[in-house]
């Protein structure tokens, strides 16, 4: 199953199960869940997931593969993930371009060095993941608050250069998180529009958009706990113009409002997609 380019989705959260099940047809185009939180879940939660997955296309966004880590990949978990994806006919599986393990799970997404050595390391792990899962995956650019210092004798790369190099070396897709671009641009002092322009159009499989917290003028915190801000909506519109419309997910993990409020933001995604695909819109293929 594939998702239409002009589609807008919502994150599947347990606290929203009843509202999602009761939502009117067409309220959203797909749902996204973290398989890490659902594999092996039975009872009423498992039944609710099965019902929703039967009614709506499902995408999955992993949390714990630690693609940038140094510990061996958990191939037992990968095999379980493959069965989950196949069972629910998942349209898109993505993971974070980060590390989240050491002696155990860190329960956070840690940055990895932006170096050529890290490109080769991460790309090899992504290729192995794709082999085990039997499908292409997408990797997401992550938010970070302190750049990982490169090892002695290695040359640092710009973040945009690193992201593009990884997806090319791994031959995988990119999940472009627009809020993360904005947050990182403010926190690390670069131009978000220039970052977008350096992303490889043909690799972009989907977008994420979310809210963040304004700690200070020069410090934004990626919380997924607030409405999407105006500057991020504008950046999403820029992404559509530059790279074309792709399936786009509204992420909201905390401070969950009534479903009607989230559907208002889903409607905003659809509005921007319609504007970008209108008769006078750019084709979005200049960067292929």
pLDDT at 87: 96
The stretches of the chain forming alpha helices (DSSP H) are: 17-22, 43-55, 75-87, 116-133, 159-170, 178-188, 192-197, 230-243, 259-276
Average pLDDT of the chain to the nearest whole number = 90
- Interval 238-259: pLDDT, tens: 999 999 999 999 999 989 999 9
Domain hosting residue 126, numbered range: 8-276
Is 102 domain-assigned? yes
CATH number, domain of 136, equals 3.20.20.150
Angle between helices 230-243 and 178-188 in degrees, nearest 10: 110
Is 287 domain-assigned? no
- Interval 33-58: pLDDT, tens: 999 999 999 999 999 999 999 999 99
Q: Helix, strand, coil proportions of the chain in percent (round to 5)?
A: 40, 20, 40
CA distance 288 to 286: 6
Is 132 domain-assigned? yes
CA distance 269 to 46: 29
Angle at 49 between CA 81 and CA 86, to 5 degrees: 35
User: Domain total for the chain?
Assistant: 1
Is 1 domain-assigned? no
CA distance 130 to 73: 12
- Interval 189-206: pLDDT, tens: 999 999 999 999 999 999
Least confident range from 1-5, 59-63, 180-184: namely 1-5
Q: Is the pLDDT of residue 288 over 70?
A: no
Is 196 domain-assigned? yes
Q: Which two tokens stand for residue 226?
A: 């607030």
């Amino acid at each position: 199953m594939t998702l239409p380019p002009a589609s807008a989705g919502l994150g599947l959260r347990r606290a929203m199960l009843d509202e999602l099940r009761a939502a009117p047809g067409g309220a959203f185009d797909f749902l996204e869940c973290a398989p890490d939180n659902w594999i092996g879940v039975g009872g009423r939660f498992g039944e609710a997931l099965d019902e929703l997955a039967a009614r709506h296309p499902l995408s999955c966004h992993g949390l714990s593969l630690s693609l940038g880590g140094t510990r061996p990949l958990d191939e037992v978990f990968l095999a379980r993930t493959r069965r989950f994806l196949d069972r629910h006919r998942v349209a898109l599986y993505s993971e974070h371009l980060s590390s989240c393990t050491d002696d155990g799970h860190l329960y956070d997404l840690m940055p990895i060095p932006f170096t050529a050595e890290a490109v080769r390391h991460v790309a090899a792990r992504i290729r192995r993941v794709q082999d085990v899962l039997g499908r292409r995956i997408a990797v997401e650019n992550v938010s970070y608050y302190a750049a990982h210092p490169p090892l002695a004798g290695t040359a640092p790369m710009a973040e945009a250069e690193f992201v593009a190099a990884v997806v090319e070396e791994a031959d995988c897709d990119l999940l472009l998180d627009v809020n993360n671009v904005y947050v990182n641009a403010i926190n690390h002092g670069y131009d978000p529009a220039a970052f977008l322009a350096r992303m490889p159009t043909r690799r972009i499989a989907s977008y994420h958009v979310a809210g963040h917290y304004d700690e200070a003028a020069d410090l934004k915190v990626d919380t997924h706990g607030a409405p999407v801000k105006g500057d991020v909506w504008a950046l999403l519109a820029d992404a559509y113009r530059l790279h074309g419309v792709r399936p786009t997910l509204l992420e909201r993990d905390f401070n969950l409002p009534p479903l009607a409020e989230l559907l208002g933001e889903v409607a905003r995604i659809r509005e921007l997609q319609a504007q970008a695909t209108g008769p006078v819109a750019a084709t979005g293929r200049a960067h292929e």
